[in-house]
Amino acid sequence: MIGVLGIQGNFAAHRKMLDRLGVASREVRTVGDLDGLSGIILPGGESTTMLKFLKNEGLMDALRAFSAEGKPIFGTCAGAILLAKDVTGPAQESLDLLDIGIQRNGYGRQVDSFITEIPVPVLGEPPLELVFIRAPVITRLGDGVETLVELDGKPVCVRQGNLFAATFHPEMTDDTRLHALFVKEAEHRG
């Protein structure tokens, strides 16, 4: 059973991806909703709004404890901002879990949304379609943070142990490979 933070943003699309993989999922809005989950996805949307909700619900510490148990967390776009240790543009509090620096809306206004395709060795053929929507940019990688997908020499999907983050929206394509990778990890660790 995989949880998808269901406050705001793209949670329904993530659940559809999990459905397509035959994986059961549940929306998470309270601390109790975390019970029995093998992993959780933090979707894209508006990180400031999600942060407020997480704080009000006591989910900040609950998610930190979830991670401390080694359970996988996958943050996409705004979800990646929630996971990152350092957030800029503007600065904002976070779960402070994944050792990266991240700049919100880092592609700027002129090119704030775009779609591209690149080969991803860890996923094999065909190339992966990447959808960026007012996406953040990863500005710093801590020791032990591994790059899974790189675009123009910059990391756009990374992993540190049980933590995964993508600055794009894997749930907005037909390609379930990244979700499958995450679910496999949840099966091992969750």
Q: Rule CB under 6 A: which residues touch ligand GLN?
A: 44-47, 77-78, 81, 104-105, 133-134
Check if 171 is active-site: yes
**Nearest approach, Cβ of 133 to ligand GLN (angstroms)?**
4
Check if 77 is active-site: yes
Token digits of residue 168: 């794009």
Per-residue burial over 47-71, b = 16 or more CB atoms within 10 Å of its CB, e = otherwise: beebbeebeeeebbebbeebbeeeb
| Cβ distance to ligand GLN smaller for residue 65 or 91 | 91
| Cβ distance to ligand GLN smaller for residue 145 or 172 | 172
Interhelix angle 47-56/59-68, rounded to 10 degrees, is 90
| Cβ distance to ligand GLN smaller for residue 104 or 190 | 104
Catalytic residue among 157, 171, 179, 185: 171
**Nearest approach, Cβ of 186 to ligand GLN (angstroms)?**
22
Q: Tell me if 102 sits within 8 A of 78, measured CB to CB.
A: no
According to DSSP, the residues that pair with 101 across neighbouring strands are 86, 140
**Nearest approach, Cβ of 91 to ligand GLN (angstroms)?**
12
Cα–Cα distance list, 63 to 46, 106, 128 (Å): 18, 26, 29
Catalytic residue among 93, 125, 150, 169: 169
**Nearest approach, Cβ of 35 to ligand GLN (angstroms)?**
27
| Cβ distance to ligand GLN smaller for residue 30 or 49 | 49
Cα–Cα distance list, 105 to 32, 94, 165 (Å): 32, 16, 16
- Cα angle at 41 between 47 and 17, to 5 degrees? 115
Catalytic residue among 77, 157, 179, 185: 77
The catalytic site residues sit at 77, 169, 171
